[in-house]
Amino acid sequence: MSKLKVGDLVCIPRRKNQGLGIVLKYVEDITKEIDDFKDEFWTTHAQMIKEGCRSADLLDLRKNARIHLLEASPERDLLEAYFQYNNSWCRKNKKSFIYIKWLKQPSYYENARSREEEQWHPADWAKAM
């Protein structure tokens, strides 16, 4: 698949209504934005495991780390999309994201059309027209 770039017309071929949009922003690797904070998080995480903490404490640490990242980021919507698309069910970590302005919204699960006019999506979900 060819690499998408800003200005490309795209659709989401996996959807019933594929939609039509234009790429406004492209982020090749979102993890670069998280690098400053992740070292501190993983150090604390490893230390808590060594000390034999409860699993509930680890879940709290992860939740607090996520909240901290969202509050500190200038691109909050991008990080929310990253966390949404990289949940536990995700087989492959998605790092590349595109910000799409929809000219014709794609379908969204049970809805006929998505309500959002602009959205972040994993780059590998979109296809250039």
**Is-above-0.75 flag for pTM?**
no
3-class SS string, 42-54: HHHHHHHHHCCCC
CATH number for the 1-28+96-129 domain, one of 2.30.30, 3.30.70, 2.60.40, 1.25.40? 2.30.30
127 confidence band (pLDDT: 50, 70, 90): very high
Q: Measured between alpha carbons, how far is 10 from 123 in angstroms, rounded to an integer?
A: 10
Q: How confident is the model at residue 43 (pLDDT cuts 50, 70, 90)?
A: low
DSSP state of 73: -
78 vs 59: which has the higher pLDDT: 78
pLDDT digits 0-9 by tens, 97-122: 999 999 998 887 666 556 778 889 89
Edge-to-edge strand ranges of the sheet holding 9-11: 118-122, 97-104, 20-27, 9-11, 127-128
Give per-residue pLDDT as tens, 80-93: 888 777 775 667 77
- Per-domain boundaries in the chain: 1-28+96-129
Whether 28 shows a pLDDT value over 80: the answer reads: yes
Contacts of 2 (CB under 8 A, 6+ apart): 128
Phi and psi angles of residue 73, each rounded to the nearest 5 degrees, phi first? -85, 140
